[in-house]
Amino acid sequence: MFQITYEEIGIIHTPFTEKVNTPIQGIFAPDSKGEVEVFPKYAAGLKDIGGFSHLILIYHFHLAEDCSLVAKPFLDKGKRGIFSIRHFSRPNPIGLSVIRLDKVRGNILEVGEVDILDGTPLLDIKPYVADFDIRQNVRQGWYEHASNRRKYEIKSMGV
């Protein structure tokens, strides 16, 4: 094995200061807002980003506790393998969120549909491209029958 090191390229600012109050997915929090501060030395990389409505943020779960290979997902009652859920207590605490890009102000991205803790270190940004990122005829494993799935589907549709 070899050591892998990444340098943060920015910091994510949100109103969420505790894990318990942070949305489990941005799609369930369409009104949540935040800012992505890209450090000045990486700001040139934001060229042309304003043409995208959504971005994929890759970040470090800086407050994650010890890794657990089996954990309870937020939308189900039973424990599942960590690689089949989106829990933060992972061998490599890397997070990924699809967020809405509302505005670009220099090196600051104003974003919505945020599900990230305040102060989270940003590792990378990728544009969300429907032609690449949407798949048809997908299987969703245990989530297809998750005990709390219906509750969140109804919430996210505004019902």
Per-residue pLDDT 10s for the chain (159 aa) are: 899 999 999 999 999 988 778 877 888 788 999 999 999 999 999 999 999 999 999 999 898 888 889 988 877 788 989 898 888 888 999 999 999 999 999 999 999 999 999 999 999 999 999 999 888 888 878 777 776 655 555 444 443
Please report, for residues 17, 62, 65, 104, the alpha-carbon distance to residue 118 in angstroms, rounded to integers and kept in the order given: 6, 10, 17, 19
Pick among 1.10.287.610, 3.30.420.40, 2.40.30.70, 3.10.150.10: CATH of 10-156: 2.40.30.70
Distance between CA atoms of 84 and 115, rounded to whole angstroms? 19
Distance between CA atoms of 11 and 104, rounded to whole angstroms? 15
- Residue owning tokens 């605490």: 93
Residues 6+ apart with CB under 8 A from 73: 80, 85, 86, 87, 142, 143, 146
